[in-house]
Structure 1
Amino acid sequence: MKNRCKCMLTLSLVLISMVTMNAQQKRKMENTALLIIDVQNDYFPGGKMELKGAKQAGENAKQILEFFRKYSLPVIHIKHISTNEGATFFLPNTSGVEISSFVSPQKNEKIIIKHFPNSFRETDLLSYLRSGNIKNLVITGMMTDVCVDSTTRAAFDLGFNNTIIGNATATRDRNLNGEVVPAEEVQKSFLAGISALGNLYAGIVNVEEFLKEK
């Protein structure tokens, strides 16, 4: 009987400790939301616009998403649908436009449709964030030098504090005046630019650093 009581007491203490830790973590991340930008099938192997390192970036974005879900923190999925003439990917009513299974949205998670690189342009993203008193954004997604970059810079101009999970983003080779610029160099350069001047537009961390700090 005594052993049973001890076990029940121990279990109760563990449960109380877990609830307390969850509450503390939630307070620590108060006014913070996760933004997952364009993690869609066309960017992955077999898609119409495959990116370098897309699968690893997707895996890392999934880890961040699981963290936010664990503590019931706000999650916003950005989904790009191409409407401009001549577009070759993210076309309406195709499998490529769908959000990747790495970060499949749950029913309680906001999905915002956009048609421009900047996720704030002609969407309700800003009003949604302000309605939830969100002041800090943790950003993952694709492509680093296009939609992630433009959205992050716009977010800064709108007064948000931004953190980009660097290895939860990806891009592809670029071409400048006939010269190929490797995806790895594009990735480094854009993340370096965003974090210049003392992390002016955003601080850059990797998924391991982010989760360790929390």
Structure 2
Amino acid sequence: MKQALLVIDVQNDYFMGGKFPLVGADVALGNVVLLIERFRVTHQPIIYIQHIKYGKNADFFGKGTTGAELHAALKVDNKTIVVRKCFPNSFLGTRLKKKLHMLGIEQLVICGMMTHKCIAATTPVAAKLGYQPILIHDATATRDLEIDGKIKSATQIQQSVIKTLANVAEIKSTQTFLHNLN
């Protein structure tokens, strides 16, 4: 089965010093890098999703800002496949589906940020389109959220979203996924 790694929104604004830092972003990034290294060594496609917000009032990921750039640890170059998006769902209004079809991809391994937003919006669509997603839970990150006047921790949000996505994706840790490839 031909796989591709889908790395969603691993952009500077989600890290310390950025406009919208996430809880656990550095740990997730370390796991994303391990996945990227494995896919590069095995010559499997890696597709980077980059969220861009347009307009002067963009709170983060503003077009042309350092915060909107993909994180340096991803080591993107001119051969890198980057799909830009404006919505949480990585398929909506993008060339992602066409690119996956051109590459003959049958399964997506998904990682990135934010778990409760773009990961949660993209993963079910990947399943509906037949890409049999594997979600690498510890290669994602989110943030604390206020719900009904109460703060829910990033850990609570992460666990809840991952559990929900288990209905449409196989859930694995980075180490389990990498170990199963050997």
The two structures share one fold, judged by TM-score above 0.5: yes
Structure (1 or 2) with the larger CA radius of gyration: 1
Alignment partner for residue 46 of structure 2, among 75, 96, 106? Answer: 75
Q: How far apart, CA to CA, are the structure 2 residues paired with 1:151 and 1:84? A: 24
Displacement of 1:108 after TM fit?
Answer: 2.3
User: What is the Cα deviation at residue 84 of structure 1?
Assistant: 6.1
Q: Counterpart in 2 of 1:172? A: 143
Which blocks of at least 5 consecutive residues in structure 1 are unaligned?
A: 1-29
1:74, 1:109 within 8 Å by CA — same for their partners in 2?
no
TM-score by length of structure 1 reads 0.82
Pairwise CA distance, 1:159: 1.3
CA RMSD of aligned residues (A): 1.1
Correspondent of 1:102 among 73, 77, 85: 73
Further displaced range: 133-142 or 83-92: 83-92
**Higher relative contact order (Cα pairs below 8 Å, separated by 6+ residues):** 2
Whether the aligned pair in 1 keeps the contact of 2:55 and 2:62 (CA below 8 Å) is no
Match of 2:134 in 1: 163
Count of residue correspondences: 181
Corresponding residue number in structure 2 for 1:51: 22
Equivalent pairs: percent with the same residue?
A: 39
* 2:58 counterpart (73, 87, 101): 87
Q: Does 2:169 match 1:202? A: yes
Amino acid at match of 2:35: I
Matched, 1:188 2:182: no
- The runs of 5 or more residues in structure 2 that have no matched partner are none
Please report how far the alpha carbon of residue 85 of structure 1 lies from its aligned counterpart in structure 2 after TM superposition.
Answer: 7.1
> Within 2, Cα distance between the matches of 1:131 and 1:57?
29
CA distance in 2, matches of 1:44, 1:119: 21
Post-superposition offset of 1:130: 0.7
Find out whether 1:63 has 2:34 as its counterpart: yes
Structure 1 runs of 4+ aligned residues shifted over 6 Å read none
2:182 paired with 1:211: no
Q: Tell me, what secondary structure is at the counterpart of 2:133?
A: strand
Q: Take 1:189 and 1:101, find their aligned partners in 2: how far apart are those partners?
A: 30
Could you tell me how far apart the structure 2 residues matched to 1:166 and 1:84 are? 32
Distance (Å, rounded) in 2 between the aligned partners of 1:81 and 1:104: 19
In structure 1, what is the Cα distance between the partners aligned to 2:124 and 2:100? 16
Any idea what the Cα deviations from partners look like across 1:161-201, whole Å, max 9, x if unmatched? 000111000000001111101000000000000003xxxx1
- Retained in 2: the 8 A contact 1:42–1:89? yes
Distance (whole Å) between structure 1 residues aligned to residue 112 and residue 95 of structure 2: 19
Greater percentage in helix: 1
